[in-house]
């Protein structure tokens, strides 16, 4: 799992495979991209003694959180252009699966490229199923 700030615009912090899958609107292609490539995961900015944490979002007074995933740093920056420090990591399938299995009880949904132009939503269980399908 590699990490970066918004200054890193390299191929290491993008997934053309996921971007193409989202553009197609085909959930099967999205699942294949998640299994075979990387996904960009927002992180909370680290303090001096803090361990990096995945950034999740809450809709209003909702009880659960949304995990927002991105095909590139650029699509994350497009969602929050007013922020100046867009910390991210590139997760592979096993990293994403581990996070979802640990946190699925507090997640209501997973969104991909939520700022568009080709956003998609899935349940955490659907993503776990896609990543563990044999």
Q: Which pLDDT does position 46 carry in this prediction?
A: 66
- Cβ partners under 8 Å of residue 75, min gap 6: 19, 40, 113, 115
Q: What is the mean pLDDT of residues 27-36?
A: 97
Q: Tell me the whole-structure pTM to 2 decimals.
A: 0.87
Helices (H), 26-72: 27-36
Strands 65-69, 107-112: pairing is: parallel
Q: Sketch the domain layout of the chain as residue ranges.
A: 2-126
Q: What is the mean pLDDT of residues 101-114?
A: 97
Q: What is the mean pLDDT of residues 115-130?
A: 95
Q: Which pLDDT does position 7 carry in this prediction?
A: 41
Q: What is the mean pLDDT of residues 70-93?
A: 93
Is residue 13 within 8 Å of residue 69, measured between CB atoms? no
Q: What is the DSSP letter of 106?
A: G
In angstroms, the first-to-last Cα distance of the chain is 23
Q: Which pLDDT does position 75 carry in this prediction?
A: 94
Q: Is the pLDDT of residue 115 over 60?
A: yes
Enter the tokens of residue 94: 């096993």
Q: Sorting pLDDT into bands at 50, 70 and 90, what band is 45?
A: confident
Give the C-alpha separation, 75 to 101, whole Å: 25
Q: Sorting pLDDT into bands at 50, 70 and 90, what band is 2?
A: low
Is residue 34 within 8 Å of residue 96, measured between CB atoms? yes
Q: Is the dihedral of CA 17, 39, 3, 58 positive or negative?
A: positive
């Amino acid at each position: 799992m590699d990490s970066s700030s918004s200054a890193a615009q390299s191929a290491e912090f993008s997934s053309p495979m996921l971007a193409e899958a989202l553009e197609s609107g085909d959930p099967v292609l999205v699942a294949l991209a998640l299994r075979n490539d990387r996904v960009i995961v927002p992180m909370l900015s680290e303090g001096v003694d803090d361990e990096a944490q995945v950034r999740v979002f809450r809709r209003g007074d909702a009880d659960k959180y949304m995990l927002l995933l991105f095909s590139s740093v650029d699509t994350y920056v497009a969602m929050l252009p007013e922020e100046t420090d867009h910390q991210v990591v590139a997760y592979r399938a096993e990293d994403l699966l581990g996070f979802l299995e640990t946190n699925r009880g507090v997640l209501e949904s997973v969104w991909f490229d939520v700022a568009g132009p080709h956003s998609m939503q899935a349940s955490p269980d659907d993503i776990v199923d896609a990543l563990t399908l044999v």
